[in-house]
Amino acid sequence: MINAIRLFVVSFAAVLSSCATQGYKASCIAEAKAYAKRAVETGVVHAGGEQDLFLRKSTGRPAEAKWDPKKIERFVATWVSNNPERAEINLAATKGTIDERERLHLTSVLDMREAAEQQRKAANMQAFAAGLNSAAASMNQSAAAMNQSAAMYRPPTYITPSYTAPIYQPPRTINLRPTYGGGYRGTIY
């Protein structure tokens, strides 16, 4: 059982350390070889891991192509700055300060600590998301209440007098006669 756990830890550490170096894309075999050499020098991988790294990066690549050594330096510098403890462990193994068993143990402890940190960050993000969801639900409720209140509101109607202007009707019949005193006399129908 203990051997099975050790085997799991060793394979888990190997997978994680290989995942850590997956980000670099070599364009040719010569670039992959230069990257593997530089990766060992800076602690991206330990001595002994460069052959596997070289094989993974050179598979399916042409023998020669244009490549920039500055690309390797930029990638390695970024990786080392993001993973200083892993680089330190790999450099110690390369220099012979620690043996392979210690390197695997330290790498697995580092992996477990990083996994715990990722879980903590995920839990914090979930709590933050839950808070945002709660605030959004509260805002939706208040918006719904305002919409309901607005739907119930009726603007006041003002009663205006219903005055209607008289309709002009032209006279139908005019019966006027002049009078001796001036003017007219008669009926209008």
Global pTM reads 0.53
84: tokens are 């200083």
Cα distance between residue 22 and residue 71, in whole Å: 15
Beta bridge partners of 177: 185
Structure tokens at 122: 């995920």
- Determine whether 87 is exposed, middle or buried from the number of CB atoms within 10 Å of its CB (0-12, 13-18, 19+): buried
Q: Which residue has the tokens 């129908």?
A: 189
Phi then psi dihedrals of residue 48, to 5 deg: 105, -25
pLDDT tens track for 74-92: 888 998 999 989 899 988 9
Per-residue pLDDT of 100-153, as tens digits, reads: 899 889 989 999 999 999 999 999 999 999 989 988 888 988 888 888 877 777
Tally the residues of the chain: 189
Give the rounded percent of residues in the chain with a pLDDT score beyond 70: 85
